[in-house]
Amino acid sequence: MSYEAPLGEIAFLLRTLTPLASVCALPSCAHTDADMIHAVIEQAAKVARDIAAPLNAVSDREGARLENGRVTTPPGFPKAYAQLAADGWTSLAAPLEHGGQALPQLVNTIVAELFSGACVAFQMALLTGSPAAKVIAAHASQELKNLWLPQLADGSSTATIVITEPQAGSDVGLVRTRAQRREDGTYGLTGTKIFISQGDHDLAEQILHVVIARTPEGAPGSRGLSLFLVPKRLLDNEGRPGAANGVRAARLEHKMGLKGSPTCEMVFEDATGYLVGKEGEGLRNLFAMMNAMRLDVGAQSVGVASAALRKALLYVHDRRQGGADADGKPVPIVRHPDVRRTLMAMRVWTDGMRALLYTAAWHEDMAQGLTDREAAARSMHLVGWLLPLIKAGASEAASTVASQAIQLHGGHGYVSDHGVEQYARDARVFAIYEGANAIQANDLVMRKLTRAEGETFRHFAALIRADIEAAAGDGRLVEMTAALTHSLEALEQASAYMLARPASADAHAGAPIYMQLAINVAVGWMWLKMASAERESPDADLRALHARFFAAHVLVDSDALARRAMLGAALLDEAAPERLVAW
Ligand SMILES: Cc1cc2nc3c(=O)[nH]c(=O)nc-3n(C[C@H](O)[C@H](O)[C@H](O)COP(=O)(O)OP(=O)(O)OC[C@H]3O[C@@H](n4cnc5c(N)ncnc54)[C@H](O)[C@@H]3O)c2cc1C
């Protein structure tokens, strides 16, 4: 399946909304420069096109397998993984002192997007290494850091995130896997985990499981959970993978997409684990990893949406149906207004979400690298606010855009020849894993909005207002600035409503609608910024046109969304659970 990275769009963002120059100016980036980063991105685009993309169809067709206790990935995966690890693609984010390249988050996010657009099932093998390294770097002992960070960097070990159990999905506090402390300070972990991505495979000799489990003294609920590193193979005296640890893949899920990525039921039988941080602080510490993974789900989503959009853009000029050209032939379907509306809808969400994703990654770099501590803290809180918007907004966009790509291909999209329907199947899980989108809405309203009585939200609103003011006088953006001003006021009204009812049934009932309004405002803000940048460039008019489209077709719903967010729980309470039953 062919793949081409949207390098023009990426370069535009790196010149304008998320300037690479300001990232490279950070003291933490002294070892790198813009030329080198551009070269990394161009090389990533080639790797995506030449190595990852050819795996996409075979990944879907062959899938991962579990035979005689061994999990194998689709043909071509092991060779491609070995090449990528050897070429340094597993070490982009890792610290220099542990053999990594310590490149900015922005670069990691871009590379994740490109590899995902080419073959997201393959990208799953690379997904968890850097988030696992983050949690280890932040919370593990020096000994564990020295042992594991180099292995994650050179790709000799991949990583997993191991939370879910049959009875513990969104409600992590229900986890039952036990961790019994031993005399030598290690722990024996016993229990069953499900849906573990890359829980076993044939890509690397070692797998480092980052596991949430409960110690016997642990309080009930999420406060009693602790975090452990559990290697697939115990290390010998020289730190090399030795005897098998007590953890194995008991079965693989058969699923609608991501077929090349093994999703495993993992059984732990007194498996040796090493505590990360303190007992009882496991879930809090794991957020270092989960936040990184939520950003990565945004990158996966933008990657797949962008690949689907490109396929549709190629097809609509080629396929002729209806009407009559000057020479009497049917017209390319792009001539039909509804097709163009669909293409514009696909583009405003794909490019708008990419801009928002990079904005969060850019602020993550600022949060980590700025020496002005107040500015760094503001960036950190802004990232916290944007993460649920990106995880939920980009995942929904990916599914919608993939579905629209099928629609534009007609029956040729529904059958598998063009590879478009695979995007829809692969993308569907983005809204489910790493915290289902309803959980993102709860996080946004109950935690992110209420922080310091709405301070982060006010900062977000102030940034948008400043950009609206800066765009005043630009005749091309009159509709956009008016619609965004109005939408921001609607969001402020809904925010005040939520802040007045913290953690109430009314707030829970309205949270997903509130989140949709916040997503629309955030993406609208991105379009205002994109349309305001590089006004003299040949692409400026097309960007302004898409900004107007976003105002006319998306922001137009803001009043209705705000009203729905503030409806409260009464109507839903009337629909009591006993009334919503199957026939
Ligand atoms: C392909 C795939 C890969 C995965 N990889 C991993 C992995 O590597 N590691 C791992 O630990 N897990 C993994 N998971 C598990 C995934 O994180 C969970 O499926 C997800 O967290 C949802 O849990 P659940 O499936 O039990 O759904 P449930 O928690 O049962 O939720 C079902 C639905 O109920 C609603 N809901 C539930 N609780 C609430 C609430 N409080 N408020 C509002 N609505 C609510 C939501 O609509 C939700 O979608 C993976 C899953 C899949 C399918």
Look at ligand 1, atom 14, and give the residue with the nearest C-alpha.
195
Cα 391 to averaged position of ligand 1 atoms, centre (Å): 14
Find, among 302, 261, 279, the residue nearest to 128 by Cα: 261
So what's the pLDDT on residue 238?
83
Q: In whole angstroms, give the CA distance from residue 568 to residue 15.
A: 43
Atom of ligand 1 nearest to the CA of 434: 17
Please give the CATH number for the structural domain made up of 7-134: 1.10.540.10
Residue-range domain boundaries for the chain: 7-134, 158-279, 437-571
Please give the CATH number for the structural domain made up of 158-279: 2.40.110.20
So what's the pLDDT on residue 1?
65
**pLDDT tens for residues 28-85?**
999 999 999 999 999 999 999 999 999 999 999 999 999 999 999 999 999 999 999 9
**434 labelled catalytic:** yes
Cα 173 to averaged position of ligand 1 atoms, centre (Å): 13
So what's the pLDDT on residue 218?
85
| Ligand 1 within 6 A of CB of 128 | no
Q: Is 102 helix (H, G, I), strand (E, B) or coil?
A: coil
Length of the chain: 583
Annotated catalytic residue, options 113, 396, 421, 434 = 434
| Ligand 1 within 6 A of CB of 170 | yes
Let me know: does 215 contact 225? Beta carbons within 8 Å: no
Cα 206 to averaged position of ligand 1 atoms, centre (Å): 27
- In the chain, which residues have pLDDT < 70? 1
Number of neighbours of residue 417 by Cβ within 10 angstroms: 9
Pocket test for ligand 1, best of 170, 300, 396, 508 (most atoms within 8 A of CB): 170
Task: Report strand pairing: 233-235 vs 225-231.
Answer: unpaired
Q: In whole angstroms, give the CA distance from residue 171 to residue 222.
A: 9
Q: Is 324 helix (H, G, I), strand (E, B) or coil?
A: coil
Beta strands in 206-347 (DSSP E): 206-214, 225-231, 233-235, 241-244, 247-252, 263-276
Look at ligand 1, atom 6, and give the residue with the nearest C-alpha.
196
